[in-house]
Amino acid sequence: MTTISHLEADAESEKFLSQFTNMHYGGQKTSELYSDWSDEYEKNFLNMTSGYEHPERIADIAASVLPDKTCRILDVCAGTGLGGAALKKRGFDNIDALDGSAGMLEKARQKGIYICIVQEVIGTGPLTKVEKGAYDAIVTSGSFVPGHLGPGQLRVLAGTLKPNGLFCMAMREAYLETDYLRDLQPEMERMQQEGIWKIERCDRMDNYHNGLSGRVFIYRRL
């Protein structure tokens, strides 16, 4: 039975995310909003009617394509560490966190999951606190959202992967039709044509977030 708390969580979560679509926030402003909301973030998302399943689901997918549980993983837009916790449950123990929000990362730090926690806003220029070519995999979900990550960050993230490293990402399918993310798939395809990476999987995911469908993209660094 759906309770008032579930309905309130649905409304609060959607209200929070709608700020970025409607107000065109991004970068440092996005990080500040997440820091302000960090105390309520997990309560709202975990209590949604349909649950907050995409950290668990992308972790399942990552586990299916990453047989080495000691591989070095970068949890991009790690937030409070829900994705890292899901990876940890599946036996991965060499995980770093990257996020722009100090408040969210403090919550993540308290979970004791990560080897290294890096606070840096991901822009279109090189990352200053993350080593290039250092990671066997990037795992991220809920990060390619209006006002969050977009096409301009793909090459930056690809640069953190080792040759043969995997980029594993899940997102809401509907966001691919927004102005902010309309060029995401074309940019992925351009990067493949340029020999930066090659596609391994592009799958549709039912009930990705609050009853809405999602997409999973996996690319292998060349």
Can you give the pLDDT at residue 210?
73
Is 14 a member of any domain?
no
- Single-letter amino acid, residue 51: G
Range of the domain at 189: 54-221
* pLDDT value for 137: 99
pLDDT tens-digit map of 120-133: 999 999 999 999 99
- Choose among 9, 26, 36: nearest CA to 106: 36
The predicted pLDDT at position 23 comes to 47
Tokens of 124: 């279109």
Is residue 137, in this structure, part of any structural domain at all? yes
| CA 179 to the chain's CA centroid | 19
Domain for residue 13, yes or no?
no
Percentage with pLDDT > 70 across the chain: 77
Tell whether 217 is covered by a domain: yes
CATH number of residue 173's parent domain: 3.40.50.150
Amino acid identity, position 199: I
Please indicate, yes or no, if residue 4 is contained in any of the structural domains.
Answer: no
Answer yes or no: is 176 within a domain: yes
124-170 tens-digit pLDDT: 999 999 999 999 999 999 899 988 899 999 999 999 999 999 999 99
Question: In the predicted model, what is the mean pLDDT of residues 31-56?
Answer: 61
pLDDT band at 29 (very low <50, low <70, confident <90, very high): low
| Within-domain flag for 24 | no
Sequence-ordered list of residues with C-beta below 8 angstroms from that of 27, at least 6 positions apart, any chain = 100, 121, 123
User: What's the pLDDT band for 40 if we cut at 50, 70, 90?
Assistant: low
How confident is the model over 67-96, as a mean pLDDT? 97
Per-residue tokens: 175: 């966001």
The amino acid occupying position 127 is L
Contact 144, 169 (CB under 8 A): yes
Q: What is the mean pLDDT of the chain?
A: 86
Whether 81 shows a pLDDT value over 90: the answer reads yes
Instruction: Taking residues 59-79, report their average pLDDT.
Output: 97
Which of residues 210 and 10 earns the better pLDDT score?
A: 210
Residue 85 resides in a domain: yes
Domain total of the chain: 1
